[in-house]
Amino acid sequence: MGMSLSLKEICDTLDRVGIRPTHQRIEIMKYLAEHRVHPTAEMIYTELKEAIPTFSKTTVYNTLKLLEEKGVVSALATDEDQVRYEANLTPHGHFKCVRCSALFDLDLPAMASAAQEIEGNLVLEYQVLAKGICRQCRDGRD
């Protein structure tokens, strides 16, 4: 599942926003493009550390912060203490399962995603986060 981005596409994206495409930054971008489960920084670190033992937690946190600042990665604070990351920048909403913590993409109503202005206020960002119990947890299959 997921969109795979070629190495060239990743380097072009980083170049475009003035980020030097180091090996570790590329690996993080690739991971986010290929794993569309909205991982936390911790999850990314744990996964990448297996393949690249020199990976440090600080690098992961700093890289995610930089990628988010430059707008090539999006961060979603689902809870006070949890931030989830993704490389899918198309406007969409989210559903978070309170049991298994899975975070799924939701299609936004066309009107909501197209709105530039709501009641005279200029919209720069539009977030929809629904929380509940996912289908799998409801079925007791987890």
The first and second tokens of residue 1, run together, are 């599942």
27 is a site residue for Zn ion (CB under 5 A): no
CB of 119 to Zn ion, least distance (A): 26
Short-list 132, 59, 48, CA closest to 97: 132
User: Of the candidates 11, 83, 129, 137, which one interacts with Zn ion according to CB under 5 A?
Assistant: 137
Rounded to an integer, what distance in angstroms lies between the CA atom of residue 141 and that of residue 64? 33
Among positions 77-136, residues that touch Zn ion (CB under 5 A) are: 86, 97, 99-100, 102, 105, 134
CB of 36 to Zn ion, least distance (A): 7
Within a 10 A sphere around the Cβ of 84, how many other Cβ atoms?
A: 20
How many residues bind Zn ion (CB under 5 A)? The answer is 8
CB of 135 to Zn ion, least distance (A): 8
Q: In this complex, which beta carbon is closest to Zn ion, that of residue 7 or of residue 89? A: 89
CB of 54 to Zn ion, least distance (A): 29
Overall residue count recorded for the chain in this entry? 142
Q: Residues interacting with Zn ion, by CB under 5 A?
A: 86, 97, 99-100, 102, 105, 134, 137
